[in-house]
Each structure stands twice: as structure tokens, then as C-alpha cells.
């Protein structure tokens, strides 16, 4: 028995003799809701199908950003980018903050950052119309910097023969680019 029935009995009311009153049926939904819902679901299916079958965007494609120099003189723009990267890597790797472990790790971290950032900068900045004889060593340098930085990140030092070879190769490529940019 529910609490409201108990309250009614306490007041002397008897529901057993009350006539049964049917509960009113809920109001019917308007007839237009089902067709609208169907239309919306068909539109959603069409949008999903379109996104499934449309050509995928090329994730590697980057919009070309050309400055006046890059368009007018792609060799000068490429040489400027390569010189900037070489200067940044050299500067960060030659800093002397002392012999404390934290100081040495700081220099190493800045060197890795300069190498990684320099590789990305070269790939993003060197104009696509750079002469092939210059574009190829610049692309090689970008890969060499990225490889060396990654091996530094996993703990190799410049004293490791493999890493020393990578660094020497990057130095030779940098010298070749400098010669081509004269």
C-alpha cells in the first residue's frame, strides 16, 4: 500500500469502492515528425557516405609559401635557409655552460633542438624550384640532421663511432652546400 493510500485510510476514505477511472492516453505526436526524422537520417547517411568516398587529403602536401626572393631567386633563398640552419646548429653545439651535468645536458638539448628544428626548417622553407644540384644536398642535410638528433635522443653521444660518422657526414654536406652557394 502506498503512503498516499495510508493517508487516505487515516482520514477515513475507502478507495476499494471508488470507481475505476481510466488513465488518459498520451497525446499523439504530430504526423510530420517521422518524415522529418527520416529525412535527417538520410542526410546523415549521405554525408557519411560522401566523407567515406571523397579523395583523402594529402597529409604530406604543404602549401607552398614563396617570398619574392624565393620566386625570383630560389638558389639565394635555399642558400640563406641552409646558412641559417648551419649557423644555428653550430652556435647551439658550441655553447660552454660549464662541466656540471645539468649544464652539459642543457647544451645537448639545445643542440638536438637546433638539429631537429633545422631539418624541419629546411624541408619547409627551401623553394620547390631550387636547382636540383643544390636541392639534393639540402634535402640530404635535413635527413642527416634529423637522424643525428634522433640518435642523440636515444643516448648516443658524439663519441660513439656511428654518431661521429653521422656528424662528419653532415659537416661534409654543409661544406658542399656552402661551396655551391658561393
Residue 22 within any structural domain of the chain: no
Residue 63 within any structural domain of the chain: no
Written as tens digits, the pLDDT of the chain (182 aa) is: 555 555 555 555 555 555 555 656 566 656 777 777 777 777 777 777 766 667 666 656 555 555 555 567 899 999 999 999 999 999 988 888 888 888 888 888 888 889 999 999 999 999 999 999 999 999 999 999 999 999 988 988 889 999 999 999 999 999 999 999 99
Residue 143 within any structural domain of the chain: yes
Domain that includes residue 119, residue range: 69-180
CA 25 – CA 160 distance, rounded (Å): 84
Report the domain count for the chain: 1
Residue 38 within any structural domain of the chain: no
Residue 121 within any structural domain of the chain: yes
Residue 14 within any structural domain of the chain: no
**Residue range 37-81, pLDDT digits in tens:** 777 777 777 777 766 667 666 656 555 555 555 567 899 999 999
Residue 105 within any structural domain of the chain: yes
Residue 122 within any structural domain of the chain: yes
DSSP 8-class letter at 35: H
138 burial (CB, 10 Å; 0-12 / 13-18 / 19+) is buried
Handedness of CA 32, 35, 38, 40 (dihedral sign): negative
Stated pTM of the model: 0.61
Task: Read off the C-alpha cell for 167.
Answer: 656528424
Question: DSSP labels for 95-141?
Answer: ----SSHHHHHHHHHHHHHHHHHHHHHHHHHS-TTS-HHHHHHHHHH
Amino acid at each position: 500500500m502506498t503512503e498516499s493510500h495510508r493517508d487516505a485510510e487515516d482520514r477515513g476514505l475507502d478507495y476499494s469502492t471508488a470507481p475505476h477511472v481510466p488513465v488518459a492516453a498520451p497525446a499523439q505526436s504530430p504526423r510530420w515528425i517521422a518524415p522529418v526524422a527520416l529525412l535527417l537520417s538520410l542526410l546523415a547517411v549521405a554525408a557519411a557516405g560522401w566523407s567515406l568516398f571523397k579523395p583523402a587529403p594529402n597529409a604530406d602536401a604543404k602549401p607552398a609559401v614563396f617570398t619574392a626572393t624565393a620566386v625570383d631567386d630560389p638558389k639565394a633563398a635555399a642558400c640563406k635557409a641552409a646558412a641559417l640552419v648551419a649557423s644555428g646548429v653550430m652556435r647551439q653545439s658550441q655553447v660552454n655552460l660549464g662541466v656540471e651535468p645539468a649544464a652539459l645536458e642543457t647544451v645537448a638539448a639545445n643542440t638536438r633542438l637546433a638539429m631537429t628544428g633545422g631539418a624541419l626548417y629546411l624541408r619547409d622553407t627551401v623553394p620547390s624550384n631550387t636547382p636540383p644540384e643544390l636541392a639534393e644536398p639540402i634535402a640530404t642535410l635535413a635527413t642527416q640532421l634529423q637522424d643525428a638528433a634522433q640518435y642523440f635522443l636515444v643516448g648516443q653521444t658524439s663519441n660513439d663511432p656511428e654518431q661521429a660518422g653521422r656528424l662528419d657526414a653532415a659537416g661534409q654536406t654543409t661544406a658542399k652546400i656552402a661551396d655551391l652557394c658561393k
